[in-house]
Copies of this chain bind each other. A is one copy, B any other.
């Protein structure tokens, strides 16, 4: 019934892993469940990716590739006009990219967003570092642009706020905050357009706050 099911075992493993890791997290997803859902054998993971963590690495890399590309493209676009990008433009470019992957990757979209959001908060620090390695290429450029837009702020503070932005976006994407209110109805797939706008509004103001009275 799923006509778009990828032909190769390798691709099915990547898709299934992305989906299940997004749903249940890394540790809680067993290779047996995963391979069964992908219609493959347990050993296929080891063959194609070396290990469970190797599979995770591949999923992260694939997912981040498009996000990184899009972020750098937007950053270039902002700089192309000649004038310095504002804080709001930078925040919007960064956050909207996270939100837009939901549409960009077709039906895989929501899983990609949720998966990436989750990876940054996995209990295992090695898994989190996996994410850190993948954002690194974009990070430098965004930090520079933010620093230029906030010249009165010391670099330490800019870095702190950048990290807060990344973290809050991750929480937003993983829907982790929804469970914090017991009564709150949980969002199923993504987030409404207005929730993303709310996040951008909060971050734009937060990044422009006067420096902390150390």
- List the interface of chain A (C-beta within 8 A of B): 24-28, 118, 120-125, 128-129, 131-133, 135-136, 139, 157, 159-161, 163-164, 166-168, 171, 176-177, 179-182, 193-195, 197-214
Tell me whether B212 and A176 are in contact (CB under 8 A). no
Contacts of A139 in B (CB 8 A): 181
Those 9 A-B pairs whose CB atoms lie nearest each other, nearest first: A25-B123, A206-B206, A205-B209, A128-B179, A197-B212, A201-B212, A121-B121, A202-B206, A194-B214
Determine how close the nearest CB of chain B comes to the CB of A89; give it in whole angstroms.
14
Tell me whether A177 and B181 are in contact (CB under 8 A). no
Tell me whether B212 and A200 are in contact (CB under 8 A). yes
With A161-B202, A167-B167 given, name 6 new contacts (CB 8 A).
Answer: A131-B180, A132-B180, A160-B202, A164-B202, A168-B171, A205-B210
15 contacts between A and B (CB under 8 A): A120-B176, A122-B123, A131-B180, A132-B180, A160-B198, A164-B168, A164-B171, A166-B177, A166-B180, A201-B209, A202-B209, A203-B206, A205-B208, A205-B210, A206-B209
Provide the bound-state CA to CA distance between A198 and B214, in Å: 8
Contacts of A26 in B (CB 8 A): 123
Provide the bound-state CA to CA distance between A122 and B164, in Å: 19
Contacts of A24 in B (CB 8 A): 123-124
Determine how close the nearest CB of chain B comes to the CB of A57; give it in whole angstroms.
14
Tell me whether A28 and B171 are in contact (CB under 8 A). no
Other-chain residue from B27, B166, B181, B211 in contact with A123 (beta carbon distance below 8 A): B27
Tell me whether B182 and A123 are in contact (CB under 8 A). no
